[in-house]
């Protein structure tokens, strides 16, 4: 007997007639679900493509150049064969796998596109020269990005394409396009300080930055300035505008205003940035959907109302379409000027599509709009997938659209049945829904990247977002309109007044008890479960979306299920940490170890630091002095030795010896020695002491793999071997 599953097109050969009565209702339900969700399948195109991008970045090494195209071809042929056989679901599965392969292939090609030299050693002593690509005002000084470099002692093929340098704040800030000369100390881009931590070297690789450092003297502007091109001209104008705003108000209000006008946030004071994050208002600093929508809406309604005030003109021209063109030009200019990042590009793309739909008298499908915006960004810059800005931006928008698809009919009934009171209730419910859903959608991402979630974000946004919409952003539009005429002081003053209130709200909410919750580092598999479960919840509309709830829950509890490391050692062997209970780290370090210290404490769930040596704890078998600690686990002795006087005893009695020092060759006792040479080679270690003497050692190099940004040479381009 031969039949097929309804809605799937998959043949079932020889199934028992006795099973048919039992299977029929279930198969009918599956067929009904598939019919309902058929229009939503296209939303999974960027998900499959992004999955391929993610797989590429977690690989331990570079794949062969032929692997991606071969996988795309093989999956495409399988999909064609399945479709010809009438197996539509199987064909769709193979098409999805082809998209996964396409995402990985595009990410691999992107790595070839940005190949540039990276320093392999410290460079210092001589004077380098280059052209300023970008300059930033920061609380601790200034920061420059230079290209067209000349670095004595380095061959042209070894000279980085770009470097990023800090300079003292009292110097005149060079502008983009100017050529400068200075003495500096430049080092290779630093690796992460913990497995799974932020990888600055990977970010620098895709930005073609081959070294970072600081100026060791005055920065001189030298001859040779040339027409900088429109990008560098915008960079220079952006720097001038930041300086102009901060000159008039260097406080919190001016810092926020400068960020909203230019997209630059490096000048924001650390305490203000912390308050904005802890209060859940940090999204107001990043030019994204809220800001682009407000600019488009302000310009759209201003143009439309202005035309309506002239009846003869209003009767003869399509005011709505003219306003849409004006709104599109406004957000395009704002996007280009405001240092476009991923949230800005996503919001601009969606805004342009919406305004284009107005021009052609169409109503765009919002969820598809978000999906294609995500696909376009991933196709252009696959590395954006790894950034918190991309993840938070699209998570918030997807969650909001999915929530409004469910809640909009109810809110509409309130308005229709209850008149003005219903309209007010619907507005308040909509505001609460928006802030709550956006906060819940971005909380797992904040947990993964920052190990912290905010608990009062809804309350803070209920006040700050309307203030931004009603006062701050309209004033920002007026600032841009008035700047060419030299009369932007008054709109800037209004903008600063609104942002002063925003800063006060942020500082006050951040001080409330329990404003933030610190959590241990989320493992990568936990974040993957949370992301896939959230996508399942947002993209489907039928009851099968509820499958995503336990998947998200499993990801959210993963930080508390993963065993934290007992011992951490930095890659330069300068900092050693021993985990204590509860939420405490005993740290011993020397030199410049502040970044590793802060990162380890944060990834331990906001642990507090205990001075070395930590106190003895007979319950856990720990005994310490200034030279190290002994830990007894089921009769197995682990010795953490930080002073040379403890090495002799550890070499005789310890089962495991962990030390940032060099160890003598005749150290007979330990079954395992983890010493300075291995630490340096591995880039840093995390060690977990298990029962019965079991020891798990996880190195940073193992976590990063042999990738171009971790020091491994990239594979040649496909055409290089021909």
11 vs 266, which has greater pLDDT?
Answer: 266
Burial class (CB in 10 A: 0-12, 13-18, 19+), 516: buried
pLDDT level of residue 20 (50, 70, 90 thresholds): low
* CA 246 – CA 252 distance, rounded (Å): 10
* CA 186 – CA 220 distance, rounded (Å): 17
Question: What percent of the chain lies above the pLDDT cut of 90?
Answer: 33
Q: What are phi and psi of 501, to 5 degrees?
A: -70, -40
Task: Examine the pLDDT at 684 and tell me if it is beyond 80.
Answer: yes
Q: What does the mean pLDDT of the chain come to?
A: 85
With contact defined as beta carbons under 8 Å apart, do 583 and 604 qualify?
Answer: yes
Which of the given ranges, 82-86, 109-113, 291-295, 592-596, has the highest pLDDT on average? Answer: 109-113
How is residue 521 annotated by DSSP?
P
pLDDT at 37: 76
Span 505-550, pLDDT tens digits:
999 999 999 888 888 989 999 999 999 999 999 998 888 888 999 9
Span 246-288, pLDDT tens digits:
999 999 999 999 999 988 888 899 999 999 999 988 888 888 7
Q: What are phi and psi of 31, to 5 degrees?
A: -60, -40
pLDDT at 174: 85
pTM of this prediction? 0.85
H helices, E strands: number in the chain: 23, 21
pLDDT level of residue 208 (50, 70, 90 thresholds): very high
* CA 184 – CA 487 distance, rounded (Å): 40
* CA 424 – CA 437 distance, rounded (Å): 20
Give me the mean pLDDT over the 645-666 stretch.
Answer: 84
Give me the mean pLDDT over the 384-397 stretch.
Answer: 88
What are 78's two structure tokens? Answer: 């399988």
Place of tokens 């008298």: 361
Strand partners, 220: 181
Give me the mean pLDDT over the 217-229 stretch.
Answer: 75
Pairing state between β 628-633 and 636-641: antiparallel
Identify the sign of the CA torsion 416, 421, 427, 431.
negative
pLDDT at 10: 46
Closest C-alpha among 582, 620, 575, 624 to residue 600: 575
Span 313-353, pLDDT tens digits:
888 888 888 999 999 999 999 988 887 777 788 788 888 88
pLDDT at 24: 59
How is residue 123 annotated by DSSP?
B
């Amino acid at each position: 007997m031969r039949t097929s599953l309804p809605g799937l097109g998959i043949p079932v050969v020889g199934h028992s007639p006795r099973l048919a009565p039992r299977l029929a209702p279930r198969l009918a339900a599956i067929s009904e679900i598939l019919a309902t969700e058929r229009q939503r399948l296209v939303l999974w195109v960027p998900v499959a493509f992004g999955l391929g991008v993610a797989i590429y970045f977690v690989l331990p090494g570079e794949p062969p150049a032929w692997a991606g195209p071969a996988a795309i071809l093989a999956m495409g042929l399988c999909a064609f064969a399945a479709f010809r056989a009438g197996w539509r679901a199987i064909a769709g599965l193979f098409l999805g796998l082809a998209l996964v392969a396409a995402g990985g292939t595009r990410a691999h090609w992107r790595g070839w596109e940005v190949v540039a030299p990276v320093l392999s050693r410290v460079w210092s002593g001589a004077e380098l020269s280059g052209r300023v690509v970008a300059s930033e005002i920061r609380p601790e000084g200034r920061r420059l990005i230079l290209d067209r470099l000349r670095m004595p002692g380095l061959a042209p093929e070894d000279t980085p394409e770009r470097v990023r340098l800090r300079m003292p704040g009292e110097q005149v800030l060079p502008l983009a396009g100017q050529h400068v000369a200075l003495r500096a100390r430049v080092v290779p881009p630093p690796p992460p300080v913990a497995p799974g931590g932020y990888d600055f070297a990977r970010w620098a690789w895709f930005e073609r930055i081959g070294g970072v450092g600081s100026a060791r003297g005055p920065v001189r502007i030298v001859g040779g300035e040339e027409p900088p091109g429109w990008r560098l001209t915008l960079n220079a104008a952006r720097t001038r505008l930041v300086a102009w705003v901060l000159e008039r108000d260097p406080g919190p209000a001016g810092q926020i205003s400068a960020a909203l006008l230019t997209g630059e946030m490096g000048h924001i004071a650390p305490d203000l940035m912390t308050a904005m994050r802890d209060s859940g208002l940090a999204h107001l600093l990043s030019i994204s959907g809220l800001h682009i929508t407000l600019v488009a809406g302000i310009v759209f309604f201003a143009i439309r109302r202005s035309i309506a005030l002239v009846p003869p003109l209003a009767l003869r021209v399509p005011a709505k379409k003219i306003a849409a063109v004006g709104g599109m030009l406004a957000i395009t200019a704002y996007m280009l000027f405001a240092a476009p990042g991923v949230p800005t590009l996503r919001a601009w793309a969606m805004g342009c599509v919406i305004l284009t739909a107005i021009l052609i008298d169409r109503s765009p499908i919002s969820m598809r709009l978000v999906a294609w915006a995500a696909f376009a960004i991933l196709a252009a810059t696959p590395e954006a997938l790894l950034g918190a800005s991309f993840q938070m931006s699209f998570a918030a928008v997807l969650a909001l659209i999915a929530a409004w698809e469910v809640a909009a009919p109810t809110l509409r009934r309130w308005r229709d049945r209850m008149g003005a009171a219903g309209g007010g209730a619907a507005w308040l419910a909509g505001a609460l829904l928006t802030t709550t859903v956006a906060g819940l959608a971005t909380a797992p991402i904040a947990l993964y990247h920052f190990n912290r979630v905010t608990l009062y974000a809804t309350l803070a946004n209920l006040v700050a977002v309307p203030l931004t919409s009603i006062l701050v952003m309209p004033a920002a539009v007026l600032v841009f309109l008035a700047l060419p005429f030299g009369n932007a002081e008054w709109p800037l003053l209004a903008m600063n007044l609104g942002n002063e209130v925003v800063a006060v709200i942020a500082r006050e909410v951040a001080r409330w008890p329990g404003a933030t919750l610190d959590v241990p580092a989320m493992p990568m598999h936990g974040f993957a479960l949370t992301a896939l479960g959230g996508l399942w919840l947002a993209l489907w509309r039928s009851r099968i979306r509820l499958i995503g709830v336990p998947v998200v829950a499993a990801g959210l509890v993963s930080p508390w299920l993963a065993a934290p490391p007992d011992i951490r050692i930095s890659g330069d062997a300068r900092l050693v940490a021993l985990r204590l209970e509860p939420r405490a780290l005993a740290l011993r370090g020397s030199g410049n170890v502040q970044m590793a210290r802060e990162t380890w404490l944060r990834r331990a769930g906001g642990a507090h630091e205990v001075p070395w040596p930590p106190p003895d704890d007979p319950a856990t078998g720990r005994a310490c002095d200034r030279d190290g600690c002994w830990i007894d686990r089921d009769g197995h002795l682990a010795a953490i030795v930080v002073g040379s006087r403890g090495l002799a005893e550890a070499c005789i009695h310890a089962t495991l010896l962990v030390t940032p020092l060099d160890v003598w060759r005749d150290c007979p006792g330990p079954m395992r020695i983890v010493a300075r040479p291995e630490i340096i080679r591995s880039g840093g270690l995390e060690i977990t002491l298990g029962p019965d003497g079991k020891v798990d050692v996880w190195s940073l190099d193992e976590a990063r793999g042999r990738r171009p940004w971790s020091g491994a040479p990239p594979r040649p381009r496909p055409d290089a071997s021909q």
